[in-house]
Amino acid sequence: MQITPYVWTTGIDGNISPFRHGPSIGIEKTFSDVMKDLRFGGFMNVWGRYDRFVVSGDLMYVNLADSHSTGPLPALTIPGVGVIPAGGDIDFKLDTTLLTSTLMGGYRVFDTPQFTLDALGGARIWSVSNTAKIHGSLGGLQGSVHYKETLAWVDPVVGLRAFVPVTENLSLQGEADIGGFGAGSNFTWSALATVNYVFSDHLSASAGYKALGVDYEGNGHVFDARFHGPVLGVTYRF
């Protein structure tokens, strides 16, 4: 069994609608942009194996604040504000809390000293909470509202995990999965590649690159986003 807390210097790009049936907003943030807005972030991976059976869990929690956007929009209705005719402006500040948990089990289909490969299946759980402070205006028509919504869904996922020893202490690892298939989101995917170094029987470190994507649209919400950037982790085995 092993536990790996890690740092993910992720950027974000995509489109989201902060409230039901509202307009989609384009987001493109570098890691430095994310750090300016970040209130709290935490990342953890858990991995275990018994004989050829394996289990995996990955948790991501991010709380972002102070995002905002303005611009002329088509006609729309904002809860608590009313109808903003075409050409009106929306100015809002958005706090977003994102929680994802990917839980999978599987079987080691190849197990040799030179290469191992695990086949995995499970679920990715998503919870997105948006709190928006919205101000709409068109000429003399104005209105403001504080509004919060939370959406959640579960995606089935299947994946592979490969491990290649290079030396006694150095190794390469790759993981990838796909899912959604319309059961939760339209599509979700993730990929991870790392270089790992073992310091002792209980302690190792890893560095690499991770990407995570999702395309969700349902119940008036849109959450189409990609997270990507370098990762650095420390693993404790017991």
- So what's the pLDDT on residue 129? 87
Looking at residue 83, its amino acid is V
Q: Supply the Cα-derived Rg of the chain in whole angstroms.
A: 21
35 φ/ψ angles, rounded to the nearest 5 degrees = -65, -35
Residue 169 has pLDDT above 80, yes or no: yes
Tell me how far CA of residue 227 lies from CA of 39, 50, 170, 184, in angstroms.
Answer: 17, 32, 27, 19
Model confidence, pTM = 0.82
pLDDT tens digits for 91-145? 667 788 899 999 999 999 999 999 999 999 999 999 988 787 766 665 666 666 6
- So what's the pLDDT on residue 28? 79
What is 83-96 written as a DSSP string? EE-TTEEEEEEEEE
pLDDT tens digits for 36-69? 777 788 999 999 999 999 999 999 999 887 655 5
Average pLDDT over residues 167-182: 97
Spatial CA neighbour of 17 closest among 60, 62, 79, 61:
79
What is the CB neighbour count within 10 angstroms for residue 49? 16
Q: Which residues of 85-124 are buried (b: 16+ CB within 10 A; e: fewer)?
A: eeebebebebbbbbbbbbebebebeeeeeeebbbebebeb
Q: How confident is the model at residue 10 (pLDDT cuts 50, 70, 90)?
A: confident
Average pLDDT over residues 6-22: 83
With contact defined as beta carbons under 8 Å apart, do 124 and 101 qualify? yes
Average pLDDT over residues 2-8: 96
Residue 70 has pLDDT above 70, yes or no: no
- So what's the pLDDT on residue 130? 78
Q: What percent of the chain has pLDDT over 90?
A: 58
